[in-house]
Amino acid sequence: MLRLYDTRNRQVGPVLPEGARSMRMYTCGPTVYRYAHVGNFRSYVLADLIRRVSERQRIRVVACRNITDVGHLVDDAEIDPAGEDKILLQARAEGRTGLEIARFYEAAFLSDTATLNIRPPEHSPRATETIDLMIEMIAKLIEKGHAYPTPDGSVFFDAASFPTYGEISGNRLDRLKPGHRLEGVDPRKRFHADWALWKPSDREMTWEAPWGRGFPGWHIECSAMSLRFLGEHIDVHTGGIDLRFPHHEDERAQSDATAGHEVVRHWVHGEHLLFDGRKMAKSTGNVVLLQDVVDAGLDPLAVRLALLEHRYRQQMNLTWDTLRAADRTLRRWRSHVAEWSETPSRPMPAERVSRIEAAFDDDLDTPLALRLMRELERDDSIAPGSRFEAFLHLDQILGLDLSIDIGRSRSLPPGAADLLERRLRARAARDWAVSDRLRDELATMGVQVTDTPEGQTWS
């Protein structure tokens, strides 16, 4: 049974009760106003990994990942009824409508997730197409005494009406202070930590509601969509660590206040990803897109493998060197799988595979799983056909397309096999000059040789 760290309970435990055969999982989706960078994809790879591990255990997974295409303010911590959300800001910069911007970057996001072998969710609702669900939910919260309208057409959630607020992030209401960017407390609020469920406005992308024309707050979107598409009992809720507060705290309060009970059983968060030691941001100039990885001559799935080299809840520093190393490993594994495919098939080494699967089950210990796979790769006491079956089996979890080179021509030009053998002997004798000369000779024949810690590979 898959066990994961629950951010709310601060402990590792099973994500499903014993005997359960289905899982409902919600993932906070992208705000579609720009291209997603490789750091953004860490939380989506996390959700995909949870799904793949569960499905290998014959658990039916029903996943929902929303598309935020309205209502996400430039500064989410600042409730400004006249504020412009990120989509409209980008629309003005590019000379397009907000909807055109949202659809363009949504398509780019979906293309990138497909490239990373992230399986599509069963439900992918857009905020703009589910406004009615949000209005209905806000009305119910008002009726239950958890929200209140104001004369200007705003609706706020009454934070004090939800006494367990802060269990996910530790930010309890009695310790929260007004935001440092605000000049005093908003006079419309009963309590400074209350947040907007509906914001009055007559700008682009607004809707009629009982409280006046406006648009929804960011947090209410996920509550309304998750309850509608997954129901009032959700097994796993995933997202990046930066969403713990205020987004997931506010979402939990809204959902639980509506349902009258705890909706989410297990909150799972992926840690920050740095690039070259810094958070990815335009201001630091270190934003790396998936297309940048492809333009650098690397396989985009090297990003997925590099992410798996670290446990999901450990902060990770990605660099071009680690991406290039992941690319070399990926190509080497595919080459080996292609070679092993030409040998007689043998049963998987059951004990070795079980140890690797156990690593995945143990709070997604992907670094251990990959280390055990490298040991299996190098173990010549295991028949090539057995390693072939094991790697293909495990790739159903890894999602690295390890079988992609099977069937491709691997025939060497005449004389190349002899040169490769001579080069192996030269390297064993530490005769680097001869090794380099033989590599150059092979290159003139169209054979590229790469040296790895596990030996030379060629293509």
With 0-12 CB in 10 A as exposed, 13-18 as middle and 19+ as buried, what is 1?
middle
CA 223 vs CA 99, 130, 216, 414, 438: distances in Å: 22, 11, 12, 65, 63
Asked if residue 311 lies in contact with residue 5, where contact means CB atoms within 8 angstroms, the answer is no
Chain centroid to Cα 332, Å, comes to: 25
28 assigned ligand-binding residue: yes
Q: How far apart are CA 57 and CA 59, in angstroms?
A: 6
Which element (helix H / strand E) includes 13? strand 11-14
What tokens does 182 get?
A: 């605000």
Q: Which residue has the tokens 């810690």?
A: 453
Has 251 been labeled as part of a binding site?
A: yes
Residue environment code for 67-87, b if the CB has 16+ CB neighbours within 10 A, otherwise e: bbbbbbbeebeebebebbbbb
Q: What is the 3-state secondary structure (H, E, C) of 218-276?
A: HHHHHHHHHHHHHCCCEEEEEEEHHHHHHHHHHHHHHHHHHHCCCCEEEEEEECCEEEC
Element spanning 400, H or E: none
> Partners of 236 in the beta sheet?
25, 266
SS3 of residue 46 by DSSP:
helix
Residue identified by tokens 């990003």 is 303
Residue 282 marked as a ligand binder: yes
| Residue whose entry in the numeric block shows the structure tokens 């390890």 | 402
Binding residues for ATP: 282
Binding residue numbers? 28, 222, 247, 251, 282
Q: Give the residue ranges of the annotated binding site for Zn(2+).
A: 28, 222, 247, 251
